[in-house]
């Protein structure tokens, strides 16, 4: 777990920018969807739609869906914190049609410039900078090959 960058972990502290809020959940949704497609291919759409899957695949799918939900909640809270808003605003997601407005807000509004009460600006601080400096210092004649 320590090898994952901080923005990819399921945590409720810190901030993430718009790009990471849109891109990573989209990719993780695709990856977490692969078992769903496999079970549909193996057991058929009727078994999946009617809920007549065997117990083990059903438990596997349930765990995958819970992991996906935790990622969604984690990313949404950290995006709200980037906008300098309380995590309790996420409860608006439970109200139909109003949740669409919150999605627009999370996707398109720029986060707070500079540090706020939830942490440093994710656009100013990049944890990969430390890795890039270490690679450049160990690689002879690397020049500026590894830059962000």
Going residue by residue through the chain (148 aa), what tens digit of pLDDT does each one get?
A: 456 666 677 888 888 888 888 888 788 778 888 887 887 777 777 776 777 777 787 788 888 889 888 888 999 999 999 999 999 999 998 999 999 999 899 999 998 888 889 888 888 766 555 555 666 666 555 555 545 4
Beta pairing partners, 119: 116
In this structure, is residue 140 part of a structural domain? no
Split into its structural domains, the chain has a count of: 1
Q: CA-CA distance, 58 to 55, in Å (whole number)? A: 5
pLDDT of residue 146: 47
Torsion of CA 4, 10, 110, 112, to 10 degrees: -90
Structure tokens at 92: 């608006």
78 burial level (CB within 10 Å; 0-12, 13-18, 19+):
buried
In this structure, is residue 102 part of a structural domain? yes
Select from 67, 74, 69 the least CA-distant residue to 21: 74
In this structure, is residue 84 part of a structural domain? yes
Q: CA-CA distance, 145 to 4, in Å (whole number)? A: 23
Which residue range is the domain that position 44 belongs to?
6-112
In this structure, is residue 134 part of a structural domain? no
In this structure, is residue 141 part of a structural domain? no
In this structure, is residue 123 part of a structural domain? no
pTM of this prediction? 0.71
In this structure, is residue 41 part of a structural domain? yes
In this structure, is residue 81 part of a structural domain? yes
């Amino acid at each position: 777990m320590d090898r994952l960058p901080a923005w990819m972990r399921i945590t409720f502290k810190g901030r993430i920018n718009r790009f990471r809020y849109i891109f990573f959940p989209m990719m993780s949704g695709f990856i977490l969807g692969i078992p769903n497609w496999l079970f549909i291919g193996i057991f058929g759409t009727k078994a999946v739609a009617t809920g007549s899957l065997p117990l083990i695949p059903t438990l596997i799918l349930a765990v995958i869906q819970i992991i996906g939900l935790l990622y969604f909640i984690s990313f949404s809270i950290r995006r709200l914190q980037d906008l300098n808003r309380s995590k309790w605003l996420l409860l608006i997601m439970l109200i139909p049609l109003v949740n669409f407005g919150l999605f627009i807000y999370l996707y398109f509004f720029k986060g707070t410039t500079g540090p706020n009460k939830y942490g440093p600006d994710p656009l100013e601080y990049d944890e990969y900078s430390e890795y890039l400096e270490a690679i450049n210092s160990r690689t002879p004649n690397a020049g500026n090959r590894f830059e962000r």
